[in-house]
């Protein structure tokens, strides 16, 4: 995990998610909505979240699920 988050950006917990009654998952970056997961994608995501070891692992799963958030040039 240390090799992945070299600048410790996931320590601030920038990502969050919200689940609706219909199992739709909304992913947020600093409380701004960036992606919506439905159906099988949402099920896979929720399974990964349930099997996560700690909060940093959850943040890494969220970062990977968002897609294009790995270049270091994201603004707050």
SS3 28: strand
- Does position 71 have pLDDT exceeding 80, yes or no? no
pLDDT of residue 6: 73
What is the DSSP secondary structure assignment for residue 54, as one 8-state letter? Answer: S
- Does position 72 have pLDDT exceeding 80, yes or no? no
Instruction: Calculate the dihedral angle through the C-alpha atoms of 35, 39, 24, 58, rounding to the nearest 10 degrees.
Output: -60
The pTM of the full predicted model, rounded to 2 decimals, is 0.80
Mean pLDDT of 39-63: 93
Phi, psi for residue 28 in degrees, rounded to 5 = -125, 150
């Amino acid at each position: 995990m240390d090799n992945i988050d070299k600048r410790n950006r996931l320590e601030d917990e920038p990502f969050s998610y919200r689940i609706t009654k219909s199992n739709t998952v909304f992913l947020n970056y600093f409380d701004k909505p960036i992606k919506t997961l439905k159906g099988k994608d949402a099920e896979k995501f929720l399974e990964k979240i349930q099997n996560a070891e700690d909060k940093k692992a959850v943040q890494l799963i969220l970062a990977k699920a968002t897609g294009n958030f790995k270049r270091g040039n994201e603004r707050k």
